[in-house]
Chains A and B, each alone.
Chain A
């Protein structure tokens, strides 16, 4: 994603037209992140609104030496989504209810599923595990950063990741003990 320095400078000077241009550039990427992190996707719009306002207000603090602008904006979105999850759902680490969570899928089947469906399966993971898994595996955060973001200890972050991995292993299990998939939708397979 290429964002010119001129556009960033114009945004810093509160040029509304430039800000809209930057918004349009960043929206697809940040929307994907928000949809991935938010357990309740109906809050995507709210989280994005809050995040974009923060991005434009604090653009002076952005240091191009440290990260690309879209990565910096992504951190703001992640933070906003985690806060939304906490506010709306709470930090509850729902117990693994077998009737609710037992979705079994072949690794090779996963390749045929759309991103939406894979995300649906992943979101069946208990929230605490899911957040750490997302941050660590997909967005490359370190445990100390995750601990700071989620206001938990590094130990708990590691523990949750370990459990998320165990959950993933169980869900995307090998063919040996494959059972009928209980996906609650009649697939829109690519």
Chain B
């Protein structure tokens, strides 16, 4: 409310006029006369009439009860039978229920069976896991562990030396069986094993046993048993971990398309009422969007996206306008002269005149907007199996190529707009902010299907060169495919 309005409100809201310059004479008398003419029946009369009606109704009700007392006996005689019937039905229901109870037991037994099956499956998998380990190494490890703990200290060195030799030979034969054309790495590894075994053997034979050595010896033997199996595996693992630490970059291109809607929010201090009118008059209507995009996926987590999109947007302008108009009336009866005594019409005057009227105009118009968008977004995503989810946010450069429709000007008049003007909804170029959650499904190694709702916000200021601002919200639901290049 402006200062002037505040001033007027203060002046007139609680204004009381004194009797100065007011010819109130006879007003009360006239009111009293009117009240006397239309005096309603006194309230006590109405009260008595009400009591009388109530008595009649009560009396009538009592009489009805008295006359229909025999009928009541008959109905009472019949009622127990009806109750019996109900009991029978109830009993049947109970039987049915107990039968249901029996059947309900069966799922429990089925469940227990399924549990057994599950356990068996688990056992099988455990067995499989065990089988995958080299049998010789497994046996050796078990033996070594047992003996290193239980064997007497004096015999330890001899036993370990023997085991080392057995171990070495087993390894050599295994290697010979499995890897005929061995790589340099594997042969080196075998040599290393042999060296360690030899060292230990020499250690046990030549070096006098010290307490520290005897303490360390079982650990050496344990390590020796571990090496043949751990060696190549550890190498592979280390290679894998090195590969995973390397930053992976994947390029993608894709297409997407879907539906969109527009929502407008008008704000103005000077024309707040028209802003509200515009908000009510301009409604959502579905449009279509489609585009191509390119992306850069870093470490399967961070992404950068850009592309070109085309949006065909619609909004529905629906407004019922009432307008005060003057209607010209020709040869209309303007005046009549009547004789006061006889009541006869003496003369009539016809002429042209104007009369006020309220004209109603209902306008429904579909406003059309064609836009090209260039998004630049940063995304964060997570992959869980074949499914992926994430979020993207960024800026969108929008170019409005075509727009036409109807809207309300700041004075509340319906007005048409074409292309870029001060009353058009969009400016020819603007920047929007976009946020879009993402759901993806990996179809193949290269192809991904994605569902992407989008919300874009932008603002248009100085509508019709006034302080009116338009907050434009565009919602999209897109479905698309992306192709990844490794």
Contact = CB atoms under 8 A, between A and B. Distances in A.
A90 B277 contact: no
A122 B322 contact: no
A158 B408 CA distance: 12
B324 interface: yes
Nearest to A161: B273
A152 B358 contact: yes
A169 B4 CA distance: 8
A115 B12 contact: yes
A104 to B, nearest CB: 13
Interface in A144-188: 152-153, 155-156, 158-159, 161-163, 165-166, 168-169, 172
Nearest to A53: B34
A159 B271 CA distance: 10
Interface in A84-114: 90-93, 95, 107, 110-111
A138 B8 contact: yes
A93 B17 contact: no
A175 to B, nearest CB: 14
B106 to A, nearest CB: 64
Interface residues of A, number: 53
A139 B8 CA distance: 11
Contact of A162 (B19, B30, B274, B319): B274
A16 interface: yes
Nearest to B26: A45
Interface in B234-280: 270-271, 273-274, 276-277, 280
A162 B273 contact: yes
Contact of B277 (A92, A93, A159): A159
A34 to B, nearest CB: 9
Contacts of B18: 28
Given A31-B17, A110-B7, A137-B1, A163 B12 contact: no
B411 interface: yes
B66 interface: no
26 contacts: A16-B32, A23-B28, A28-B19, A29-B14, A29-B16, A31-B16, A31-B24, A32-B17, A45-B27, A48-B27, A52-B31, A90-B356, A91-B356, A92-B324, A111-B7, A115-B12, A119-B12, A137-B1, A155-B277, A156-B323, A158-B277, A158-B412, A159-B277, A159-B321, A165-B270, A165-B273
A36 interface: yes
A57 B39 CA distance: 8
A57 B35 contact: yes
Contact of A158 (B11, B28, B30, B276): B276
Interface of A: 13-14, 16, 19-20, 23, 27-29, 31-33, 35-36, 44-45, 48-49, 52-53, 56-57, 90-93, 95, 107, 110-111, 115, 118-119, 122, 128, 137-139, 143, 152-153, 155-156, 158-159, 161-163, 165-166, 168-169, 172
A45 B22 CA distance: 9
B299 interface: no
Interface of B: 1-5, 7-9, 11-19, 22-24, 27-28, 30-32, 34-35, 38-40, 43, 270-271, 273-274, 276-277, 280-281, 319-324, 326, 355-356, 358, 410-412
Contacts of B1: 137
Contact of A115 (B11, B356, B410, B412): B11
Contact of A118 (B11, B24, B30, B277): B11
A113 to B, nearest CB: 10
B17 A49 contact: no
Given A110-B4, A163-B411, 14 more contacts: A20-B32, A29-B15, A29-B16, A31-B17, A32-B17, A48-B27, A111-B7, A128-B324, A137-B9, A155-B320, A158-B273, A159-B277, A159-B411, A165-B273
A14 B45 CA distance: 14
A168 B7 CA distance: 12
A184 B482 CA distance: 77
Given A93-B324, A155-B277, A32 B15 contact: yes
Contacts of A49: 27, 30-31, 34
Contacts of B358: 91, 152
A87 to B, nearest CB: 12
A137 B9 CA distance: 7
A155 B322 contact: yes
B462 to A, nearest CB: 18
A32 B22 CA distance: 11
A53 B31 contact: yes
Contacts of A172: 4
Given A23-B28, A56-B31, A92 B16 contact: no
Contacts of B271: 162
Given A20-B28, A45-B23, A92-B324, A36 B12 contact: yes
Closest 7 A/B residue pairs (Cβ): A93-B324, A92-B356, A159-B412, A28-B16, A158-B273, A156-B322, A32-B15
A13 B11 CA distance: 36
A49 B37 CA distance: 14
Nearest to A168: B4
Contacts of A110: 4, 7
B468 to A, nearest CB: 11
A92 B326 contact: yes
A36 B11 CA distance: 11
A39 B324 CA distance: 17
Contacts of A20: 28, 32
Nearest to A110: B7
Contacts of A169: 2, 4
Most interface-central of B2, B273, B358 (chain A CB within 10 A): B273
A104 B455 CA distance: 49
A44 B81 CA distance: 79
Contacts of A48: 27
A162 B273 CA distance: 6
A166 to B, nearest CB: 7
A153 B40 CA distance: 37
B334 to A, nearest CB: 15
Given A49-B34, A153-B320, A163 B412 contact: yes
B314 to A, nearest CB: 22
A130 B411 CA distance: 16
